[in-house]
Structure 1
Amino acid sequence: MNEFAQLYRALDETTKTSRKITAMREYFSTCTASDGAWAIYFLSGRRFKRLISTGRLREWCASASQVPDWMFDECYGAVGDLAETMALLMPEESTGSTTSLTDWIENRIRPLSQMSDADCREAMITAWGDLSAYERFVFNKLVTGGFRVGVAQQMVIRALAETSGVDAAVIAHRLMGTWEPVPDFFTWLLAPDSGESDSSKPYPFCLAHPTDGDEATLGNIDDWIVEWKWDGIRGQVIRRGGQSFVWSRGEEPMLERFPELVQPVAALPDGTVLDGEILGWNEGGVLPFSEMQRRIGRKTIGKKLLAEVPVRFVAFDLLEENGQDLRKLPLSERRQRLDAMIAAQPSNSSIMASPLIESDSWEDLRRIRESSRETKVEGLMLKRASSEYGVGRVTGLWWKWKIEPYTCDAVLVYAQRGNGRRASLYTDYTFAAWDGGSLVPFAKAYSGLTDAEIREVDRYIREHTLEKFGPVRAVTAELVFELAFEDIQVSKRHKSGIAVRFPRIARWRRDKKPEQADSLETIRGMMRKATSPGR
């Protein structure tokens, strides 16, 4: 456990990619196969569901550390992280654990979910006493389901590749899909020849960079394949060994959630892997993502919802054909093969090829892009015709040229402390727009300000607090910010009557007074303008 806690500390205390990779490589080179498998499990973003309610943990920790509830709340408010607060409050009685990470997980963490309250309390207090302060912090993160550390999947892959000598693309592929954190998996993952592969495994996804705003620098437009940037669920369709699979980019199996894809996927030639997007699509064409959201998260879809929000898989790449990996071929050739395969499917199939956009100049393409909202898409995708299908974001291959976001001016009305390194600062903001003579909250945003601006806003919030509602502060409504967001939808759940998608702060409007902020009617007008017929 100590070695894993020290790895977490090394990763958490640096922002340098090289140091993070070195720390992981050193860990993987010396750990046991069982500990290595669990470390990969957590570092790749997987985690346990919360094993114990936060209320019980707070109660037990406060009691064991002899801290009154009000003081625990004050400490939690200052630290901003429950796992860290509990680790710091408990008296340090151990210099560290010599027990392995695997033993802690199998014998002291997993059994917690099956214990009575009394046994669970005793087990937690004993565990806190057996660990050093930092080990307690990591242990608490695992128990609460809040384990996160600042490493991207690509960093983990690079560290494993450098440890094993296996190509990073091979490691990335082996990590896809479902797997269990057992010693055999760790050994198989790092083996030069892994033997048989899982037929259900998707390929690592190739991702796009946003353009820098000057598309003319990309050269001749004829060197690029242009498609719409769809607003759906990215996924891979797999037909291998007489079995069908649909995987999300987040590596979740999705075929059961979309029954209208079962027969079309089964009709594909064996040894086929398609990359594309799952979209709501009816006889009128693609549906807004808000309609798709009605189906997301539901394991069982009723007949009414199936009829109202049918889906299609819009394919834009062919990664495997007749069991042959095509990713090294130029996109232009992969696309030709994709079109031929889709053309051979029944005309009523729910799998279609993404339409290509023809244009003879960047200026003409810019005009086409401006029609994105009318087409219910997010903009354009620019893909180099000669490109291979890369792993992750490979600069220069694929670019996303999104439509300009909606923007409005809004007033800061509520604030809450952030998490982690921002736990002592008010960084989570609620913004309001005018409705008649009242300010009505309609959006929350957490990003967009510089560190200096965050500190300045934090001072304002502390000096202009009107009321406190638990961790939330109501502030004097004076600060105006320009917000940017991707979409606007009618919402019956919100008092404002609208919901905005991906709100973030575009800039601080120091030049505006609160009465100059926008109204809800103005924001609703943006929505009506974007969806009005004939535009």
Structure 2
Amino acid sequence: MKAFADLYSALDETTKTTAKVEALVAYFAQADPRDAAWAVSFLIGRKPRQAVPAKKMREWAAIEAGIPDWLLGECYDAVGDAAETIALLLPPPDRSSDRPLADWVESVLLPLRNHDEETQRQILLDTWRAMDHSQRFVWNKLISGAFRVGVSAQLVTRALAKLGKLEPGTVAHRLMGDWTPSADFFQSLLDPDSSDTDLSRPYPFCLAHPIDDSGQGGPAGLGDPAAWQAEWKWDGIRCQLIQRSGETFLWTRGEELVTDRYPELAGLGPMLPDGSVIDGEILVYRDGAVQPFAQLQRRIGRKTVGKTLLKDVPVALFAFDLLEDAGEDLRALPLRNRRARLAEIVAATNIPTRLILSPTVPGASWAELAEVRAGSRDRLAEGLMLKRLDSIYHVGRVRGDWWKWKIAPMTVDAVLTSARRGSGKRASLYTDYTFSLWDDSDRLVPIAQAYSGLTDEEIRRVDAWIRRHMVESFGPVRTVTPELVFELAFEGIQRSTRHKSGIAVRFPRILRWRTDKRATDADRLETLRARLSGPDGPSQP
């Protein structure tokens, strides 16, 4: 545990990529394989579920430190991180332990959430008393389910590839799918002769970079449009449908196995040639048309899907790439070749309501494609994807071959009506805002919450203003006098029975602080309602 805590500190104290990779290589080179496997799991984002409620952790830490709850709260406001606050306030350890990370995780952390409250309290006190400050800090992060450090999965992959003298793509593939941290797994991860026996394992997803219309003149710098394939950029769930050795698996981009949640797509597997892997997008498809993302949300997160929901919210897989055919890895082939073979498979499967070849968008020039792109929202798309026809299927986000050319977001001018403090480094500042619009009775009705888009300087100014203009307190929320106006951007709009406004917006964020406007100049709810079409679908802004 001590070596892992030291690694966390080393990664947290530098912003240099080379230094992070060197620290990772040094740790993995000397770590016990069991410890290293758990470290890999945590570092690439597979954090455990919260084992103990945060409120209980703070309560027990305050008692152990001999301070009142309010003082711990004040310290948290100053530090900005609950795990670090607790680690700093606890008395020095009464003994020293260098128990391996794997033992801590497997024997203490994983069983912890299944114990009764008193047992949890005693276990937590015992662990705190056996750890120094840096170990407690990391341990608290793991217990709270909030573990993260300034290192990406790509950097971890680079470090492991360097240590094992492997291609990063090979390591990235081995890290995909469902695996359990163990000594055997870590050793196979670095074994150049290791063969993949996991039939369910997906490939690392190829991702696109956004095109900056403002600074680069849109896609004009990409050359001849004839060298590119344009497709609609759908707003669904990116996934890979895998059929191997008579078994079917459906993986999301977030590496969640969702085969049982979409039985109509799982049913496609046996109809595909064995050894097939299709990359595509899960979309609700009914009456020959894509339906709004709001419909898909009715199925997201459900472990089981009843007959009524299957009937009312049917999904289809819009296929846009073929990664494996008859067990052959096709990723090194040009896109035009992969697409041709995909088209043959989709046609042979012949289930046009469930497996659909994602349509390409014709255009003889970038101007012509821009004109087509302007109507993206009519198709419930976010814009266009541009893919070089001779591109391979890269691992991760590699600049140059795949671009996402999204349409401009919808915008609205809204009034700041309440705020709450942020988390982490923003815990002492009011950074999480609620914005409202005027209704027909000239009342402000909340329509969105947002916390991103302002500069650090603007955040400090808004925070100071909020502290001077607080009206009421509701738990952590502070209402304020309705004076400040901000321009919000969002990707979509839909009707909602869960919101007082009757409207929900998708991916809201702050574009700018409208210091030139008064609250009375802000938009009205009818401005948003005018953008709705159909029972829950968006229209053009």
TM-score, normalised with respect to structure 2: 0.95
Q: CA deviation at 1:344?
A: 1.2
- Report what 1:257 is aligned to: 261
What corresponds to 2:494 in structure 1? 489
Is 1:293 the counterpart of 2:297 in the alignment?
yes
CA distance in 2, matches of 1:21, 1:503: 35
**1:74-113 CA distance string (max 9 Å, x none):** 3333334322222122112368632211121123323323
Counterpart Cα distance in 2 of 1:283 and 1:321: 31
1:498 to 500, 503, 519: 503
Specify the code of the residue in structure 1 equivalent to 2:33: A
Aligned runs of 1:84-99 on 2, under 5 Å? 84-93=84-93, 97-99=97-99
SS of the residue corresponding to residue 357 of structure 1 reads coil
Check the 8 A contact 1:77/1:471 in 2, yes or no. Answer: no
Deviation of 1:228 after TM superposition, in Å, equals 0.5
Q: Which residue does 2:343 correspond to in 1?
A: 339
2:419 alignment counterpart: 415
Residue 415 of structure 1 contacts residue 474 of structure 1 at CA under 8 Å; is this kept in 2? yes
322-331 or 91-100: bigger deviation: 91-100
Decide whether aligned partners of structure 1 residues 92 and 469 sit closer, same or farther in structure 2, where only a CA change above 3 A counts. Answer: farther
Structure 2 SS opposite 1:229: strand
Q: How much does 1:526 deviate?
A: 2.2
Choose the corresponding residue for 1:450, options 455, 460, 482: 455
Contact 2:377-2:540 within 8 A present in 1 as well: no
Q: How many residue pairs align between the two structures?
A: 535
The aligned counterpart of 2:106 is 106
Deviation of residue 149 (structure 1)?
A: 1.6
Q: Within 2, Cα distance between the matches of 1:532 and 1:84?
A: 44
The answer on whether the counterparts of 1:415 and 1:427 sit within 8 Å (CA) in structure 2 is yes
SS of the residue 2:377 aligns to? coil
Deviation of 1:208 after TM superposition, in Å, equals 0.6
With over 3 angstroms needed to count, the CA separation of the structure-2 counterparts of 1:254 and 1:533, relative to structure 1, is closer
Q: Which amino acid aligns with 1:517?
A: A
CA RMSD of aligned residues (A): 1.8
2:31 is matched with which residue? 31
Task: Give 1:68 shift.
Answer: 1.4
What residue number does 1:323 align with? 327
What is the distance in 1 between the residues matched to 2:415 and 2:177? 44
Structure 2 gap segments, 5+ residues each: none
Deviations 1:125-155 (A, max 9, x none): 1211111122111111111111122222111
Give the counterpart letter for 2:517 in structure 1.
K
**Which digits, 9 at most, give the CA deviation of each residue in 1:364-404, with x for residues without a partner?**
11110011111111111000001000011110110111111
Query: C-alpha separation between the residues in 2 aligned to 1:484 and 1:196?
Result: 45
Shift of 1:12: 2.0
| In the alignment, structure 1 residue 160 sits paired with structure 2 residue 165 | no
After superposition, where does 1:56-455 map in structure 2 within 5 Å?
A: 56-93=56-93, 97-213=97-213, 214-348=218-352, 350-435=354-439, 436-455=441-460
C-alpha distance after superposition, 1:438-497 (max 9, x if no partner): 211111111111111111112212222222333222222221110000011111111111
Q: 1:91 to 1:534 in 2, by over 3 A?
A: closer
Q: Which one-letter code corresponds to 2:468 in the other structure?
A: E
Identity %: 54
Consecutive unaligned residues in structure 1, runs of 5 or more? none
Q: CA deviation at 1:534?
A: 11
Structure 1 residue 514 corresponds to structure 2 residue 519: yes
Q: What SS does structure 2 have at the residue aligned with 1:378?
A: strand
Please report the TM-score for the alignment, with normalisation by the length of structure 1.
0.96
Q: Is the 8 A contact 2:485 2:514 kept in 1?
A: yes
CA contact (8 A) 1:2 1:96 kept: no
Q: Describe the SS at the equivalent of 1:374.
A: helix
